[in-house]
Every structure is written in structure tokens, then in C-alpha cells.
């Protein structure tokens, strides 16, 4: 590979190009999200970083935003900040994507907890969390494994339909 390639990779130029070229693209699968987002983690793989993809009601990408960055094994995620950006961009749906520098894409208890909290926060403002994808050696989709599909939707339905 050329020196220019490595220089561009380190500078984050490719990540910016991915963000710009993805705007308006319709998201239809977790594999598509993985393919779009994988280059975003190429520039700095040594810390956990959380991106959020903001979408229209038809799943067209409005924006991809780097929201949080942390340490080698964790990052603090604040649902309030995700809600704020969702409202600011007038997004109807989001997908959260973060990396595990270790390469192990198994969701941690913290990953499951923040997914639940963000899904509930999104429901409160009439928006939807479509997926939370972890990237490492491959990827893990919480929608594909039905964590978001059944468990969280049941909890949201219970809360909003008088269960509490």
C-alpha cells in the first residue's frame, strides 16, 4: 500500500468520505450498516467509539455522528445526548454502532443495558432504535439476534400501554 493511503487512513480522511458518501442512502440490513461503518473504525481501533446513524422514517441516512469515545474497554454513552441530536436532526430512527477493540463482538451487560435505555428514550420522543451493532472481528447485531425485536419492544409496549 502507498504512503498516501496510510496517511489518509491515519488522518481520518476515509471516515469523512464514508460519512459524506452515505448521506441519503437507504439502510436495509445490519450487514449494510456494518459495511458502511467498518471503515470508520480503521483510523483508531484502540478505544471504544460510539457512532449513531440518524435516519428518516424511510431509513434514509440523514447523518452519521461520532457521539462518544472512551477507553480500550468501555465508553460512557448518554441517552440524553442521543435524544438531543435525534430531535435536532429531526430523525425518525437511529442505529447505534460501536467497536470492541478486543475484537470480541459479544455484547457486554453494559451494552445490553444502554441499548435498552436508548430504545426507551427513543420511544419517549416517538423515534425508533432500529439496531445496536458491535464491530470487532466481524459484527454483532442486536436486532438480528432479536434483543431489540422482542425483549425491548415488549417492555416499551408494557410501559406505554399502561403496564406501569
Chain segment 41-90, per-residue pLDDT in tens: 876 668 999 999 999 999 999 999 999 988 877 788 999 999 999 999 99
Higher pLDDT, 89 or 13: 89
Choose the weakest-confidence range: 14-18, 34-38, 157-161.
14-18
Q: Residue 10 and residue 43: Cα distance in Å, rounded?
A: 5
Backbone angles phi, psi at 138, to 5 degrees: 100, -150
pLDDT per residue as tens digits for the range 114-149 = 999 999 999 999 999 999 999 999 999 999 998 887
Q: Where residue 93 falls among pLDDT bands split at 50, 70, 90?
A: very high
Return the DSSP state at 25: P
In the CATH scheme, what is the code of domain 3-160?
3.40.140.10
**Residue 14, pLDDT score:** 47
**Residue 75, pLDDT score:** 83
List the domain boundaries for the chain. 3-160
Choose the weakest-confidence range: 4-18, 21-35, 62-76.
4-18
For residue 59, count CB atoms less than 10 angstroms from its CB and return exposed for 0-12, middle for 13-18, buried for 19 or more. middle
Amino acid at each position: 500500500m502507498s504512503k498516501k493511503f496510510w496517511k489518509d487512513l491515519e488522518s481520518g480522511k476515509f471516515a469523512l468520505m464514508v460519512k459524506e458518501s452515505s448521506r441519503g442512502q437507504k439502510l436495509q440490513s445490519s450487514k449494510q450498516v456494518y459495511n458502511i461503518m467498518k471503515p470508520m473504525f480503521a483510523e483508531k481501533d484502540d478505544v471504544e467509539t460510539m457512532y449513531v446513524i440518524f435516519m428518516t422514517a424511510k431509513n434514509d441516512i440523514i447523518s452519521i455522528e461520532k457521539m462518544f469515545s472512551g477507553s480500550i474497554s468501555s465508553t460512557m454513552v448518554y441517552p440524553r445526548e442521543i435524544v438531543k441530536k435525534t430531535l435536532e436532526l429531526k430523525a425518525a430512527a437511529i442505529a447505534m454502532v460501536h467497536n470492541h477493540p478486543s475484537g470480541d463482538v459479544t455484547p457486554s451487560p453494559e451494552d445490553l443495558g444502554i441499548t435498552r435505555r436508548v430504545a426507551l428514550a427513543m420511544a419517549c420522543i416517538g423515534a425508533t432504535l432500529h439496531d445496536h451493532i458491535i464491530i470487532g472481528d466481524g459484527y454483532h447485531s442486536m436486532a438480528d439476534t432479536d434483543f431489540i425485536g422482542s425483549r425491548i419492544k415488549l417492555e416499551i409496549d408494557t410501559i406505554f400501554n399502561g403496564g406501569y
